[in-house]
Amino acid sequence: MRLILVLLLLLTAALILASFVTAEPPGANELGRIMILEYHKIDYPEERWTRTPENFRRDLETLYAGGYRLQSLSALVEGRITVPAGTTPVVLTFDDSSPGQFRYVEHNGQLEIDPKSGVGVLEDFIKEKPEFGRAATFFVLPGADPPNRFFNQPEHVTRKLRWLVEHGYELGNHTLWHANLGKYDEPVVRRQLADAQIWVQRHIPDYKFRTLALPHGVYPREVGWALSGSAKGTTYRHEAILMVAGGAAHSPFSTRFDPVHLPRIQALGQELTYWLTHFDKHPADRFVSDGDPTTVTFPKSLHDRLRPNLPQPLRVVERE
């Protein structure tokens, strides 16, 4: 009798040990929400659509210290979450290709990225904290009037677009010249979307946009016009459509994930602070990575929130 008891105890101990060995990182919740931040101008002074380089730098520091790590928009849409265990992915987006987002300056006869431009601030920060990751999507305007046409240095357009793509950044469709897609009939909507891609391909042959940010957040009368199609001999296909507001996005593994209506957070002091505070107060609402892109880990209690059709084949791990 005593022997059986000892054996049972030993077995229990072994099971507990085994569960520790195979345990997923504590706290992983890959059904939580993710912030897609939306920047417009990086310039002076700080105002409704402008973030100063210093404040942008501060945002990056705050995000880093809060356990956020950069993830690309495509990776989010694909459900390929690669940030380390225990951290939370965050997506950066920049709309309208204004000059302060990416500027070249001459320094001792050499062309270099202006450290006061958005890309300069971001690259400097990444150099200091490589573990922050490197990713952002630039929703450019190829045919807008200056100063919003491709960051406003016509002589450097090709160099800039290639530099971005070669360094892991993404370009997104924002129409040819910021057209309000709700105002036009189908042929114009399709031409705006196709033309934007054609104009980018003059600099980077074969480059295909994967995502669209709606100018003014306005959908065309039929959403299908924006999702895929062809015009002027080119085809376009957008895996996600981004709005201009709406708060934090749902996990790509959640039943609530809606790539056709992806919400964003305008990264201006108050709204960003609001969401950072929200996740501090409600940690269960926050996406926390398990560090393994091939698994999706979440608390058992959220079982019903798992999408039946995951964006790619993944092993599901339900934790206590």
Is the Cβ of residue 119 or residue 296 nearer to Zn ion in the bound state?
A: 119
Q: Which residue is nearest to Zn ion (CB)?
A: 95
Look up residue 240 and give its amino acid. Answer: A
Question: CB 44 → Zn ion: shortest distance, Å?
Answer: 20
Is the Cβ of residue 30 or residue 96 nearer to Zn ion in the bound state?
A: 96
Residues contacting 215, CB < 8 A, separation 6+: 174, 175, 178, 179, 180, 181
Is the Cβ of residue 126 or residue 188 nearer to Zn ion in the bound state?
A: 188
Angle, in degrees to the nearest 10, between helices 269-281 and 53-65: 10
Cα gap 290→281, rounded to integer Å: 21
Question: CB 117 → Zn ion: shortest distance, Å?
Answer: 18
Question: CB 202 → Zn ion: shortest distance, Å?
Answer: 21
Question: CB 88 → Zn ion: shortest distance, Å?
Answer: 26
Is the Cβ of residue 40 or residue 190 nearer to Zn ion in the bound state?
A: 40
The structure tokens listed for 190 are 């399709």
The structure tokens listed for 115 are 């450290």
Residue 58 buriedness (CB in 10 A; 0-12 / 13-18 / 19+): middle
Is the Cβ of residue 96 or residue 114 nearer to Zn ion in the bound state?
A: 96
Is the Cβ of residue 212 or residue 231 nearer to Zn ion in the bound state?
A: 212
Question: CB 30 → Zn ion: shortest distance, Å?
Answer: 31
Q: Which residues bind Zn ion (CB under 5 A)?
A: 95-96, 215
Strands (E), the chain: 35-39, 41-42, 50-51, 68-70, 88-95, 104-107, 110-113, 137-140, 170-173, 211-213, 228-231, 234-237, 240-246, 262-266, 295-299, 315-319
Question: CB 271 → Zn ion: shortest distance, Å?
Answer: 16
